């Protein structure tokens, strides 16, 4: 019993460690606000586990691990969607800024209008108003997840300010480059969607197998929840399944980052 409990605990801990989001490496001047790595309310289950019958400790540990990993997967999906949304706003801001500058609007007024549409750019507009470093303010905003492309706008602003070349042309080139990069990312996302769908389908296959086993008169759920061998199978299967999901997500993140 002790060995099986240890195996279940180690499997759950390994899955959580694999799926735990890494801390972003930000410069020291940036705010180090890291999203929660998982459901903190799981700590409440520790004293509750003391009162559980011995026969339910392993299934409870496996269930808690599955819930925690599901929460981590949901957090990563939400962060990915938020980053993609921020990237879209960056593209819209660059296109808006390029159009305003091309129409003859001064840089300060164009940046202020872009900040009205997307308040995240307000520090950059304020930096221009007080005569501060606008590229540095844009780089600070680019530290937000999904806003990395603002570094290109900051570089264009810096080069135009130092060389005296037209800011409108530089920002327009940045906007065209972001449009091309967005098209490439859409192609990559389309290719990754099939891989993610396949991983989810494979993760659901054990549930289908349990239903089929119950339909032919067997008791696979009882075997998994009431016998030591079933606990070992359940913990090992969940660990391998979650490790596979992590591997697919890691490959998808690397491909998305390279795009």
Q: CB-based contacts of 196: which residues, under 8 Å, 6+ apart?
A: 248, 249, 252
203 CB burial (10 A radius; 0-12, 13-18, 19+): middle
77-85: long-range contacts at Cβ-Cβ below 8 A with a sequence spacing of 24 or more? Answer: 79/21, 79/35, 79/145, 82/145, 82/146, 83/145, 83/146, 84/146, 85/146
* Residue 154 confidence (pLDDT): 92
Phi, psi of 165 (to 5 degrees): -70, 165
Which pair of tokens denotes residue 222?
Answer: 């009882």
Digitized pLDDT (tens) for each residue of the chain, 259 residues in all: 444 444 444 444 444 444 444 443 333 333 334 444 444 545 555 555 555 555 566 667 766 776 777 777 788 878 888 888 898 899 999 999 999 988 888 988 999 999 999 999 999 999 999 988 999 999 999 999 889 999 999 999 998 888 767 888 889 999 999 998 888 888 877 877 777 788 778 777 877 887 888 777 778 878 877 788 887 887 788 778 777 777 877 777 776 666 5
Phi, psi of 166 (to 5 degrees): -65, 125
Query: Global pTM?
Result: 0.63
* Radius of gyration from C-alpha coordinates of the chain: 25
Measured CA to CA in angstroms, residue 3 lies from 20, 63, 213, 224 at distances of: 25, 18, 28, 16
* Residue 1 confidence (pLDDT): 44
* Residue 213 confidence (pLDDT): 80
The closest of 208, 204, 250, 224 to 18, measured between CA atoms, is 250
Cβ proximity of 174 and 97 under 8 Å: no
Average pLDDT, the chain: 75
The owner of tokens 């659901």 is: 204
* Residue 236 confidence (pLDDT): 82
């Amino acid at each position: 019993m002790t060995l099986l409990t240890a195996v279940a605990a180690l499997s759950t801990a390994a899955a959580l460690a694999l799926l735990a989001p890494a801390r972003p490496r930000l410069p020291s001047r940036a705010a180090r606000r890291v999203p929660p790595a998982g459901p903190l309310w799981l700590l409440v289950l520790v004293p509750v586990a003391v009162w559980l019958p011995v026969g339910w400790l392993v299934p409870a540990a496996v269930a808690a691990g599955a819930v925690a990993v599901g929460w981590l997967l949901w957090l990563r999906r939400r962060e990915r969607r938020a980053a993609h949304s921020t990237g879209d706003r960056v593209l819209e801001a660059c296109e808006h800024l390029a159009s305003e500058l091309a129409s003859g609007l001064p840089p300060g007024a164009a940046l202020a209008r872009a900040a009205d549409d997307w308040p995240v750019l307000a520090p950059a507009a304020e930096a221009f108003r007080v005569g501060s470093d606008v590229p540095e303010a844009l780089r600070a905003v680019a530290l937000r997840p999904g806003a990395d492309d603002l570094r290109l706008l900051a570089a264009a602003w810096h080069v135009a300010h130092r060389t005296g070349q037209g800011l409108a042309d530089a920002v327009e080139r940045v906007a065209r480059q972001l449009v091309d990069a967005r098209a490439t990312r859409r192609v990559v996302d389309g290719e990754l969607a099939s891989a993610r769908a396949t991983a989810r389908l494979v993760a659901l296959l054990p549930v289908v197998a349990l239903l089929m086993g119950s339909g032919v008169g067997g008791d696979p759920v009882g075997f998994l929840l009431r016998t030591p061998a079933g606990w070992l199978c359940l913990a090992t299967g969940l660990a391998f399944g979650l490790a596979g999901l992590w591997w697919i997500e890691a490959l998808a993140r690397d491909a998305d980052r390279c795009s």
